[in-house]
Amino acid sequence: MFNSNRQARDARRFASTISRLALGVFIGTTLTVVSGVSSGQEKGKSAAARLSSDSIAALNQLYAKVPAAKALGPKAHSILVFPSITKAGLGIGGQYGEGALIRDGKAVAYYSTAGGSYGLQIGVQKYGYAMFLMNEKAVRALDAASGFEVGVGPSVVVVDEGMATTTTTTTIKDDIYAFIFSQKGLMAGLGVQGNKISRITPK
């Protein structure tokens, strides 16, 4: 009886380990394929040039669709834009993207964003987000030694469609305002809490 119970436990552990490994392969392969497709579309440009142009284009599209973002732009110290984040999962998921810190209309530094997610999910989703850094304190937090974890340190407010209609330059009081968007406009139901942002050198 003892041996049977132990064998059953060992079998469950083995199955769990295999599932985690399979999930890791699924997520890693999916993110690699998606990023490879996007890189192949813009051969001839350096990675930094691609990130710069993609980030500035995404910010301009956000301005065109969301007046509140356009109003915040001139008031922000800098704007961190991740034009395309890939989220893949099978129960447990991961997400990753790269973007540029924009100041005075130009990219001045580059960052990655990464995080995990849990719940009933399967497949791949793509979206982007822009963080309007309203003061020097928020900008300094990006370059913390171990990376900037969203939700720890400067206050971050995620602007949804409802808030976007009421936000004005006179109501600004927080350190960072984040807009999560897709090609169709602002997205609901997604958060950036817990995402780790780290400075990178595009390759």
CB 177 within 8 A of CB 159: yes
Alpha carbon dihedral 61, 65, 68, 70, in 10-degree steps, equals: 40
Question: What's the angle, vertex CA 72, arms to CA 70 and CA 76, rounded to 5?
Answer: 125
State the burial class of residue 111 (Cβ atoms within 10 Å of its Cβ: 0-12, 13-18, 19+): buried
pLDDT reported for residue 94 = 80
Strands 156-158 and 196-199: unpaired
Read off the pTM.
Answer: 0.71
Q: pLDDT digit of tens for each residue in the chain (203 aa)?
A: 444 455 444 444 433 443 344 344 444 444 444 444 444 445 557 999 999 999 999 999 999 998 989 999 999 999 999 999 987 766 566 889 999 999 999 999 999 999 876 555 566 678 899 999 999 989 988 887 667 887 677 888 888 765 655 555 556 778 999 998 886 656 555 667 668 899 999 88
Q: In angstroms, rounded to a whole number, what is the distance separating the alpha carbons of residues 155 and 76?
A: 14
Handedness of CA 197, 78, 131, 89 (dihedral sign): negative
pLDDT reported for residue 92 = 64
pLDDT reported for residue 172 = 72
pLDDT reported for residue 49 = 94
- The 8-class DSSP code of residue 25 comes to H
pLDDT reported for residue 86 = 86
Amino acid in position 3? N
pLDDT reported for residue 31 = 47
Q: Scan for tokens 């924009």, then name that residue.
A: 102
pLDDT reported for residue 41 = 45
